[in-house]
Amino acid sequence: MKSLYRSSKKSKSQNSARLEAAQRLDVLEERDGYIGLGNQSGSSSAVNERHTRDLVSGVTRRRRYLDFLIQTYYKGKADSMEQRLKTVLRMGMYELLFTSTPDHAALNEAVELARDYVREGAASLANGILRTVLRNKDNLPVPAETPLETYLGIMYSHPDWMVKRWLGTVGKDATLKMLERNNERPVFGVHIVSGRDRVLEALEKANVAVTASELVPDFIRISSIQPLFRGGFFKDGSVRVQDEAAALVVHAMSPAREDSILDMCAAPGGKALYAALLMAETGKVVAADIHSKRLHLLDKNMELFDVSNLDMEEMDGTRPPDKWGEAFDKVLVDAPCTGLGVLSKRADMRWHREESDLKDLIQLQIRLLDGAAACVKPGGLLVYSTCTTEREENMGQVEAFLERHADFRLEPAPDIIPAGLRDAQGNYESRPYESDMDGAFAARLRKN
């Protein structure tokens, strides 16, 4: 496969984690951020990969604040700075300010990278700017005479509009907690499907701390999944990545033996697969989505986990086929949304969401809910879920749906959802500023 990255001259930095990170960050910049933050080229060793991923995701999270510092200490116009140099400065500042890397190592490596990856003359410029940051490390500048949303947006690296919304909806204290949470290194939720003892032993040998879920059986939280990749646990179907918040959305649907279930917006299929596993080879789960390429990511997992009660179908959920009219006991609409509850894991998303996206997404959610309503059997259940924090996409949509569909009623989440993860109406709601889980929402709508 042709490399995604531009070549640079050979040097002692050629195979370093920092060079790999710089290349990935520049590809993110060129492609507007819509590639994964994981290993794209496959060139990093297992030892370097974790460092590389931390640099890429960390710099992406802190980008606005790092650019504020660059603009402050660079004598020219930061907007006209060559991209490779800006990337090296962002990385150097991130390591100096937000990691445990020794100052001298972070500084020297950044200067060396500027020489090798940018050009010879860039090294002295990088050295001067980064040494200035280092001298002022305990007294760095802050934005002056700016609105609160701009001040917080710069200091915590979020768009102004996002901060302003949260200040207006959840208040300053909760907003600060959310901003801090979004900038933390994410933990990974893992479902241990089989071989629990082997999995835990491998993590212990790798010195990876494990926290068992108190809510969902066989789920754990870990800081790194690399030992599981290296141990082949993903390849043999022992484990799968899924956050507890997403697993609880499936439990909000109460999958039972012999159920017929439709997952209306299934791609890439994690929730549909978990529902099928919970049903223990009984009943039928249909994973449907309009995006066939993403949906077929489920193909490999169906074989890997030996799931026979799961089918896939390419389908526009706003216009379900007539054959699905009142055909399912339970329908899940895990709707496309702003995703503002998962910004810790999706570091790049904050820079690509616009407030104007909300209007279009709300309209799509309405059409999906109306399409799904026709597929639910009388007495059946429609579960509407998102991974956002915004009321307009959550309870606001539920209220509007009930006004349009008098044959449905709202009922509370099942007992597996604790009181601390319920809103005032009894719906499942995970708030990222109040728990270690992703943000999520799910409402149960019973058809009369």
**Secondary structure letter of residue 324 according to DSSP:** G
Burial pattern 151-188, b for ≥16 Cβ within 10 A else e, equals bbbbbbbbbbebbbbbbeebeeebbbbbbebbbeebbb
Cis, bond preceding 336 (omega within 30 deg of 0): no
Distance between CA atoms of residues 257 and 249, nearest Å: 18
Distance between CA atoms of residues 150 and 336, nearest Å: 28
Q: Which residue has the tokens 């799904």?
A: 372
**Secondary structure letter of residue 217 according to DSSP:** T
Burial of 260 (0-12, 13-18, 19+ CB in 10 A): middle
Q: What is the β-pairing status of strands 210-212 and 219-222?
A: antiparallel
Distance between CA atoms of residues 414 and 402, nearest Å: 20
Note the helical H segments in 346-425: 357-373, 395-404
Distance between CA atoms of residues 91 and 110, nearest Å: 7
CA atoms within 13 A on the CB side of 75: 5
Distance between CA atoms of residues 196 and 143, nearest Å: 50
- Catalytic residues, which ones? 387
CB atoms within 10 A of CB 285: 29
Task: Give the pair of three-digit tokens for residue 102.
Answer: 């020794």
Tell which phi-psi region holds residue 379, choosing left (phi > 0), alpha (psi between -120 and 50) or beta. left
**Secondary structure letter of residue 394 according to DSSP:** T
Can you spell out the DSSP letters for 234-301? Answer: TTTTSEEE--HHHHHHHHHT---TT-EEEETT-TT-HHHHHHHHHTTT-SEEEEEES-HHHHTHHHHH
The residues, any chain, with a CB within 8 Å of residue 114's CB and separated by 6 or more, are 85, 88, 122, 123, 125, 126, 127
